[in-house]
């Protein structure tokens, strides 16, 4: 897959099947879009192309509000675009000037001149350009004029839920990891560097790796204990993730993200790892004593080991 950050002086002689959007989450709805793009590109021997934005448009359009929390970082999105078979990704810098372009100007500059689009695939509620005028009907008319076809992908449902990024964000904040993973079609992931903590876990018999999250805008799920899979140095481990403010030890504290790996004792400071959230175990709790906390941690571990026993075969562990 070719990734293009610098959009100046781009020479492109290939026709494209394209889609455009922020794609935060690459959830089941986004995946349907991407699969349609790839399918049409193969049928017509065109390039499959994604145009996406960085930073998140909301950060530019609402500068006085807190920055948008994100489900997928740019690097995670790029990995997923490649996984779904996209040939080329254009990273469009989202600026105040860009937000002022009407849909015809945007269409001409980015889709017609840059991509040479022949098929444009959009979601059921997608629109772009100033005042969001670039909707399905107006784009269809523009397609007749400029020689491209617009395909609109219908809503995607999981049970009674419309699959949407906003629902995934809300569910992460609620700790509803089962729903999040079903909406994503994969386990929610966070990545970061292992840093030194206060070493309380080691003192309690549960040595943990404190994680510095790679992207400050990455949405950290609700405080609590989670059963997780961890990818470290190309190997998969299982363990427990703790997200919380350490209430047993402190009245006030920043949120700490730390992971305890089962049957693991190596020194891994400064290593990078990726954590995949599988199940929510319990809420964060302030315990009356250290012994109560240790008892709860032992119970958490037993629950985690039971999940491995019930849901993961030996083949999956490798």
Instruction: Please indicate, yes or no, whether residues 125 and 6 belong to a single structural domain of this protein.
Output: yes
Is there a domain that residue 173 lies in? no
What's the pLDDT at 242? 94
In terms of domains, do 312 and 255 share one? yes
Query: Which of 142, 158, 174 marks a domain boundary?
Result: 158
pLDDT of residue 311: 81
Is residue 294 scored above 80 in pLDDT?
A: yes
Residue range(s) defining the domain that contains residue 293? 187-317
Residue 172 has pLDDT above 50, yes or no: yes
Residue 163: is its pLDDT beyond 50? yes
CA angle 151, 157, 162 (to 5 degrees): 95
By mean pLDDT, which of 56-60, 62-66, 166-170, 200-204 is the weakest?
Answer: 200-204
For residue 171, being part of any structural domain is answered with no
The answer on 151 and 238 residing in a single domain is: no
Give yes or no: residues 78 and 144 share one domain.
yes
pLDDT at res. 126? 81
Same domain, 151 and 65: yes
Domain co-membership, 87 together with 196: no
Q: State mean pLDDT over 9-37.
A: 93
Q: Which residue has the higher pLDDT, 205 or 303?
A: 303
For residue 310, pLDDT beyond 90? no
Tens digit of each residue's pLDDT (9 = 90 or more) over 54-107? 999 889 989 889 889 999 999 999 999 999 999 999 999 999 998 888 888 999
Mean per-residue pLDDT, 173-197: 95
Domain-located, residue 205: yes
Looking at per-residue confidence, does 100 or 177 come out higher? 177
**181 domain-assigned:** no
pTM of the entire predicted model: 0.92
pLDDT (0 to 100) of residue 235: 92
Query: Does 317 score more than 50 pLDDT?
Result: no
Considering the domain boundaries, does residue 273 fall inside one?
Answer: yes
Q: Are residues 123 and 232 in the same domain?
A: no
Evaluate whether residue 65 is within a structural domain: yes
pLDDT at residue 119 is higher than 90: yes
Whether 241 is in a domain gets the answer yes
Same-domain pairing of 112 and 149: yes
Mean pLDDT score of the chain: 90
CATH number for 219: 2.40.30.30
Per-residue pLDDT of 218-275, as tens digits, reads: 999 999 999 999 999 999 999 999 999 877 887 777 889 999 999 888 888 899 999 9
Catalytic residues: 258
108, 140, 158 — which closes off a domain?
A: 158
Pick 129 or 50 by higher pLDDT.
Answer: 50
Residue 17, domain CATH? 3.40.50.620
* 141 and 256 part of one domain: no
Beta carbons of 172 and 180 less than 8 angstroms apart: yes
Are residues 152 and 235 part of one domain?
no
How sure is the predictor about 125, in pLDDT bands with cuts at 50, 70 and 90?
Answer: confident
Domain tally, the chain: 2
Q: Are residues 148 and 266 in the same domain?
A: no
- Is the pLDDT at 187 greater than 50? The verdict is yes
> Does some domain include residue 88?
yes
Give me the mean pLDDT over the 162-176 stretch.
Answer: 96
- Is the pLDDT at 53 greater than 90, yes or no? yes
Same domain? 148 vs 48: yes
Average pLDDT estimate for 282-310: 91
């Amino acid at each position: 897959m070719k990734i293009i950050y610098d959009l100046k002086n781009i020479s492109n002689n290939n026709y494209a099947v394209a889609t455009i959007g922020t794609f935060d989450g690459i959830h089941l709805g986004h995946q349907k879009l991407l699969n349609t793009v790839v399918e049409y590109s193969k049928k017509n021997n065109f390039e499959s192309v994604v145009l996406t934005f960085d930073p998140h448009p909301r950060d530019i359009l609402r500068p006085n509000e807190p920055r948008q929390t994100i489900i997928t970082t740019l690097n995670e999105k790029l990995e997923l675009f490649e996984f779904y078979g996209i040939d080329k990704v254009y990273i469009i810098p989202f600026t105040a000037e860009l937000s002022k372009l009407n849909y015809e100007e945007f269409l001409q500059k980015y889709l017609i001149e840059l991509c040479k689009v022949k098929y444009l695939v959009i979601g059921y509620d997608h629109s772009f350009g100033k005042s969001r005028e670039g909707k399905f009907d107006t784009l269809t008319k523009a397609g007749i004029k400029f020689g491209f076809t617009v395909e609109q992908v219908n809503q995607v449902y999981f049970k009674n839920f419309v699959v949407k990024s906003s629902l995934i964000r809300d569910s992460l904040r609620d700790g509803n990891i089962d729903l999040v993973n079903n909406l994503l079609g994969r386990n929610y992931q966070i990545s970061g560097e292992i840093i030194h903590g206060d070493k309380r876990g080691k003192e309690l018999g549960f040595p943990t790796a404190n994680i510095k999250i790679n992207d400050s805008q990455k949405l950290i799920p609700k405080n609590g204990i989670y059963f997780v899979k961890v990818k470290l140095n190309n190997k998969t481990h299982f363990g427990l993730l703790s997200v919380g403010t350490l209430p047993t030890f402190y009245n006030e504290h920043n949120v700490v993200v730390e992971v305890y790996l089962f049957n693991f004792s190596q020194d891994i400071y400064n290593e990078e790892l990726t954590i995949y959230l599988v199940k929510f175990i319990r809420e964060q709790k302030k315990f009356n004593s250290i012994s109560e906390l240790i008892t709860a941690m032992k119970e958490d571990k037993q629950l985690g080991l039971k999940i491995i026993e019930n849901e993961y075969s030996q083949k999956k562990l490798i």
